[in-house]
A and B are shown apart, each in its own frame.
Chain A
């Protein structure tokens, strides 16, 4: 294993530090239950944004249906968890939800991913709506009223584990040959195909992986907020996730993380000014897009900004 390079050690250290600091703040009581909700939102949004970034930012497939995958994870986990009220039930539910979302990603991806740009966006939007309407009409999901009293197993430790896991796994994927195949589709689909990349396969793969992690985010959501209903996962939720990705930078995982944290903090801060809240929020987005149209990070990662002078020069992926 070559896991112990200087860079990896630094990353590991910062991960542990983040966990430790937040854990300490919670224990001491500086972070009260109100801010804990913000933290949960941040973690869930990071998972959603990073997974959507794989599909839209790295593979270049514009998707407006990410909330659909999220809802599958949320409902599957909730239903399983309500029948199996234990941590094991929560974990089984989370994984089942993620797999279910992934399967739907594959099923939907195969016919729709031959579409490009705006057409694909509309198709994915339609997919998410179909999923929402299905949950609205099924008995097991209790229709429009939604599911109530879902046992709460999501806590800071699980949130952190899944968030860090998602970032590491997706980052690893992107830095592999399979990930580069996905990126080549964004760059030039015809050239990619001529270089031996089965573009359909890698588009569906990106969609499936994106769906999987969105499912995890949904599961964490339902288990944290006790309650899910179809309305939560509508068109607007998909847009919210897309905003994070675009704001952070299409093709930058660090960007998605920073944008998810920043937007949640801004949103929390503005809660005291209810009247102007949405106006300020929207104006802020407009201003950022005018001055940083490529997003906060562009396609750069935070690790690109530091030069690591270990034995080997670090490769720039972007």
Chain B
């Protein structure tokens, strides 16, 4: 059963079509990879899915409570509320806030106390803030960050910043998690650790994951299916072994038929 369905999605910027007629689907519980050479339109596709861009045409549908919900044209915060959370390719943490606050801010959409309690710090405020802190610490524990909860996000080492971004995305309680190059800039050891964590949170949080990644060791190891984009168009899709031997994919990455040159 398809959880996220993208149908003939197109986005043009003036004369440039960054994403052209892309159709894909992700089933519940799947871990799907999205790869392609630089400038293929992967991040643009992410931005379309998360509401940062409005699609020129086509539709994005997310199944929620047994109903199909159209996400195209919704604002980013609304998309997040529907259950689609993301991380950013170039880390976008709240740099000057503490690690704990980064996570707590992402929990805000599920906060129930209202302005009155906020202004007067009534019991409701205290009870819920305690819950928030406990929940945030549970999340941070997964990424071994809870002992650093009071540090500023900008003071974390690079790898931990990447982890915090994932923790923050999880704090929005998503059903689909979009990871934009989570292993970028990591060394092989860190990538291996990240691979384990992604597999683990997927089970633990019952997540469906779509990830963009250039690190093929990570993609080939954990993705069940892979979509390949080139020049904004979908050129291949299938299991990792199929993609590895796909002629079009090799051409897109390495240029045309090397042997005949």
Which A residues form the contact surface with B (CB < 8 A)?
1-3, 169, 172-173, 175-181, 183-184, 187-188, 190-199, 299, 315-318
* Assembly CA distance A181 to B132 (angstroms): 14
A293 shortest CB reach to chain B, Å: 15
A63 shortest CB reach to chain B, Å: 21
* Assembly CA distance A122 to B133 (angstroms): 40
Contact, CB under 8 Å: B88 / A177 = no
How would you classify the secondary structure of chain B's contact residues: helix, strand, loop or mixed? helix
| Chain B positions within 8 Å of A194 at CB level | 50, 52, 76-77, 80, 85-86, 88, 92
B6 shortest CB reach to chain A, Å: 18
Please provide the chain B residues from 22 to 36 with a CB less than 8 Å away from any CB of chain A in the complex. none
| Chain A positions within 8 Å of B109 at CB level | 195-197
B91 shortest CB reach to chain A, Å: 9
How would residues 105 to 147 of chain B score, 1 for a CB under 8 Å from any chain A CB and 0 otherwise? 1111101010101111101011011001100000000000000
| Chain A positions within 8 Å of B104 at CB level | 177, 180
Contact, CB under 8 Å: A187 / B113 = no
Contact, CB under 8 Å: B96 / A187 = yes
The residue on A at minimum CB distance from B98 is: A316
Contact, CB under 8 Å: A1 / B123 = yes
A251 shortest CB reach to chain B, Å: 9
The residue on B at minimum CB distance from A201 is: B77
B146 shortest CB reach to chain A, Å: 13
B75, B96, B126, B132 interface centre (most CB from chain A within 10 Å): B96
| Chain B positions within 8 Å of A179 at CB level | 118
| Chain B positions within 8 Å of A316 at CB level | 98, 150
* Assembly CA distance A315 to B80 (angstroms): 27
B101 within 8 Å of A by Cβ? Answer: yes
Contact, CB under 8 Å: A184 / B105 = yes
A188/B94 contact (C-beta < 8 A), A194-B86, A197-B77 known: yes
B239 within 8 Å of A by Cβ? Answer: no
B125 shortest CB reach to chain A, Å: 6
* Assembly CA distance A173 to B114 (angstroms): 11
| Chain A positions within 8 Å of B111 at CB level | 177-178
| Chain B positions within 8 Å of A181 at CB level | 105, 108
